[in-house]
Structure 1
């Protein structure tokens, strides 16, 4: 038990994701990856040096590897972990400054009281699923308290540190939300928004209704718009790649071999030669539950999100019985239900994946080696074409790859490519990159640098945006003239029709059931509820156009019903 609890509370790398500290970061990070060779981060003048950063980064990488079942991490994974470590340092520095500024501290007595009240939030779910702390399948606080009293100093010091991290955050959150409450006035506004209804006539003048013929854009105007909107036109680097893929897809023999393996494991368990939990830890392809002896925790017999065939195998299984092999899209499962309560069960499973093996795997590996020898990591990109021809494989074209994004092909995401592509030279090929269903060699065919593209490459976009600006100006002039013409009209729809303009009757609607025209233009929505029947609005500039309104009907919210 101590071993499993130590696994639960091993130092966990996690990114603080608390929305109430987001404001702290605005303008505080003054330098990233700068300020000296030994400085990795600088936040409000406080520096993070290379050694502690690297220690945290290596610990985070190891933690991530364990979470992934020991699998090799892609370069994108490593980059993501590095960014998370940087975020962690930044958030910690900002939080510590907030604690000092507000005088937030945590006493030993507070930590002892919090620990006796329950597990730290960082490990709460793991503890709740641990059978040692359960009675009749439910968490038992007395068992947690007894364990705390008898645990050694290693465990208690780790629990103490988790609470020293968590309690100041909770105090800061309480400080920032101390004055948040819902008054009667606000409750009335909520009721009113749901029950007050209006009907209005709407005359809308939108820029998109202006014909292109009225908004020509000269070359000089195009250049001027381009020059003044350079920041809006900036884009990340992008790469275009060709590739050859050697499939790694299992066949019927591989499926039969996996079925034979899962049947052999079932025979070991039901014959008493091995425990289900031990087999799961050693053999299950589901590394997450496998590390817990196959434990899936408490789930519904019709749990959404699970493979339908897995759920079907779970549904009729008695408690304590090891199922026959159940095939899902992930492979073959052995399932056991340890306890049941209503429509919920505490289940375990062992997953045996279906993957190429034996002679089939040898043949795939041989072809992959040939692909590597003929085309892998070459400066002469034409060798990829030759390899495709020699192996009778098609030469594929990858979709546009934007720097910072992962490459996704029809058969799924491919690791490492998005890092390699922006380090390579034009025409070079990649080493063999293994994806979930194939092994690949890529070639960098063209590269679009980051920054502001030349006008010739974005001319259509600039032309469209410049024309839209002109349309907005013309629509505004036209709307102002219409407003002057209709200023004294008592019947907006009739006066608009007389001038060839169209109005639309909207409603009845409430503030929460208003249509998209109003939800996209909140100021217009507010004006609609400010009008009495027959009353006219001034010209209103909204997000999608300019509007004139006239109230038709109004149904007030019943304050007596609210009380």
Structure 2
């Protein structure tokens, strides 16, 4: 077994020196961590990548994530968002896009890796594509899930196209093939030590007021934060019911009659269809085979006489009018008009009246009691900011932030309100109770002091821990066994692996220095 002293500072350079106590990097906008070829890297994108990696690591490690593991995940998240920006720039340069038909085909035939592991999609322990497709076609696949899958494949399909373009016709030498095989198959198992700063450098570190003031002056611009509100929300969703479906079918029948009366199908599609991928092309979907469309659409497309416009076809995406232009064997060339499933005007009026009643009751009874009276969902402790205003089930809650900011800065002599008026988005009506508000801008020295003090203490402890780590490396190189070095410092030898160069162990992360040490250190060296 190879011996590796894992000096747990791999992610430190980027994330501890490159980011300040507000979680931002120098030189970027208030909500950006940096720029790649002029394109900003938003903090929200980094945070989303980090949260995904963190949750995956928790599942794999089966417990709490140490600070050292968090740093490795931070570096991996940073690398991921930088790679995303570079890929997006290259796809823009090449004009690579994904059609709706391509997205549907990918979603049905190439399931997301997390879904492959779900027991409901397995037969005798193996993934069952038929079960997965039945799920997509059934009532359990709600619109929220379908929208999430669409977003995933709208990103994944262009990447796949880019990869095929880059690798098409590329010559791969035997040496490159050997390296690729080695990277994927050669594995390592390592013994290592974690060097927690608080154990190596226990106790407190003295930080002076002068040090804090100096750091505040040096990093003042980097401390800028967007306006942020923590709120309790009551949601009144704009769900679709049978009456809304009937209205969409009626509209589709009207358009079908218009086309039967001589109107051009493509012109009507450009005017009426809500499918962004085909609307400007007159509804054209291109050529597709069986299994690429939802069953309702597929049945109509493979049974319609060529040239005839279908009766309204209801699918999870809305109501379709379909016209088959050509059919050869199991391949169909077709176009369609998509009418969305949405609330009718009368239903929206009733929903709006209910929202008004909710607002009046909340003014006197409060958000929670009003929501209970109306049987609505309540969410507490929801954080929204100008940088990240999205709330599931609502969409953008930016109006709530603006309201909170106005209430905290009002100068008319009236007390600040804690309950908002009702706000409306495309997805829902909602009302908010303000729990806490932090205005945009640079925090005062007093407000920033706790964070700066903690940062300076971490830096001092880290510097001392690095010195101790270097002393331990010297002991190992002089022949002292790893277990003995560990006992002297009150540490425990841990084992990671087996893992490969391209699929490192979550405990160590993907830092090049760590992976290089694992595969470059002699066995038992």
- Please report the TM-score for the alignment, with normalisation by the length of structure 1: 0.47
- Please report the TM-score for the alignment, with normalisation by the length of structure 2: 0.50
Which protein is bigger by CA-based radius of gyration? 1
